């Protein structure tokens, strides 16, 4: 049986040593910036992200394989999980775009997952506030089940009529987060984030998991079941500032049929 009762949980200081902030690293050498792409929001803005499918031998790979993340996911989803994808969300000052209301399963339904036995962990790298476009969620909306999704800008978004009805009935929570805080949420939780009009970046790392028993029935840019090797707690620190491994394979915008992405021009 799927466990979904308490699946939206914010855990303070999951990563007591802050991995980095968007301003402390020389980003262009890591591949994270070179492989970024933009996805248009519905208001003329562009949301920037970099994605990859497999856990890599770098600090973000160690975070995605850390027991403090994976064990919680296995508790939420009621059994073994594997890594489905990781993303760096690069919400830049003043120009960072919005994410329209959606359920992640609105995307992953399209990638051949029969059940919504999927969840994500969002870790704040910068301080996330209302001003710089923190995540907004509709509390307990995952109990609504999958909502129809369509195309909004370049994104997959939830049926606006349903979203309006849900907004009238459910509590809207602004997930303001200190760096190192992690938010665990179910794939059917309705969420969005506004454009960043502030002068502060809002970078976040998101790692997502699928239940091993929910192996997709078809190929997509996201992986089929691949056993996840958990690492010990010290692995993150041992990686130090190895932000990206040289053999890391990034998702290319043309491979992702669930969104219309545009490569960022150098």
Q: Contact with ligand AKG (CB under 6 A): which of 7, 123, 206, 207?
A: 206
DSSP sequence for the chain = ----TT--EEETTSSSS----TTSS-GGGSSTTTT-EEEE-TTS-EEEEEEESS--SSHHHHHHT-HHHHHHHHHHHTS-EEEEEEEEEEE-TTTB--EEEE-HHHHHTTTT-SS--EEEEEEESS-B-TTTT-EEEETTGGGG-PPPEEEETTEEEE-HHHHHHHHHHS-EEEE-B-TT-EEEEETT--EEE--B-SSS-EEEEEEEEEEGGG--SS--SS----------TTHHHHHTT--S-TTPPBPPGGG-TTS-EEEPP-
Residue with smaller CB distance to ligand AKG, 59 or 121:
121
Q: Is 89 an interacting residue with respect to ligand AKG (CB under 6 A)?
A: yes
Smallest distance, Å, CB 233 to ligand AKG?
26
Q: Is 191 an interacting residue with respect to ligand AKG (CB under 6 A)?
A: yes
Residue with smaller CB distance to ligand AKG, 99 or 209:
99
Q: Contact with ligand AKG (CB under 6 A): which of 104, 126, 190, 207?
A: 104
Residue nearest to ligand AKG (CB): 193
Smallest distance, Å, CB 239 to ligand AKG?
23
Q: Is 193 an interacting residue with respect to ligand AKG (CB under 6 A)?
A: yes
Smallest distance, Å, CB 246 to ligand AKG?
26
Residue with smaller CB distance to ligand AKG, 87 or 186:
87
Q: Is 83 an interacting residue with respect to ligand AKG (CB under 6 A)?
A: no
Smallest distance, Å, CB 193 to ligand AKG?
3
Q: How far apart are CA 13 and CA 19, in angstroms?
A: 11
Residue with smaller CB distance to ligand AKG, 76 or 99:
99
Q: What angle do CA 148, 207, 114 make, to 5 degrees?
A: 40
Q: Is 135 an interacting residue with respect to ligand AKG (CB under 6 A)?
A: yes
Residue with smaller CB distance to ligand AKG, 140 or 194:
194
Residue with smaller CB distance to ligand AKG, 206 or 236:
206
Residues found near ligand AKG in the complex (CB under 6 A): 87, 89, 99, 104, 135, 191, 193, 204, 206
């Amino acid at each position: 049986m799927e466990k979904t009762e308490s699946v939206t949980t914010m855990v303070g200081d999951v990563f007591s040593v802050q991995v980095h902030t968007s301003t402390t690293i020389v980003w262009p050498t890591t591949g994270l910036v070179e492989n970024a792409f933009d996805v248009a929001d519905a208001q003329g803005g562009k949301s920037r992200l970099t994605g990859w499918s497999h856990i890599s031998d770098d600090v973000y790979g160690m975070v995605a394989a850390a027991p403090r993340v994976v064990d919680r996911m296995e508790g939420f989803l009621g059994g073994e999980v594997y890594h489905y994808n990781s993303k760096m969300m690069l919400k830049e000052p003043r120009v960072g775009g919005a994410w329209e209301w959606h359920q992640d399963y609105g995307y992953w339904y399209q990638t051949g997952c029969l059940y919504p036995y999927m969840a994500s962990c969002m870790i704040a790298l910068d301080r996330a506030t209302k001003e710089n476009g923190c995540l907004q969620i509709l509390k307990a909306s995952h109990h609504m089940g999958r909502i129809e999704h369509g195309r909004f800008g370049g994104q997959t978004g939830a049926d606006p009529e349903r979203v309006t009805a849900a907004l009238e009935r459910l509590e809207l929570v602004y997930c303001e987060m200190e760096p190192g805080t992690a938010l665990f949420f179910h794939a059917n939780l309705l969420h969005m984030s506004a454009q960043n009009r502030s002068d502060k970046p809002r970078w976040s790392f998101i790692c997502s998991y699928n239940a091993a028993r929910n192996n997709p029935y078809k190929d997509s840019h996201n992986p089929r079941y691949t056993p996840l090797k958990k690492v010990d707690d010290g692995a993150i620190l041992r990686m130090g500032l190895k932000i990206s491994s040289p053999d890391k394979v990034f998702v290319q915008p043309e491979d992702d049929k669930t969104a219309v992405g545009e490569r960022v021009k150098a």
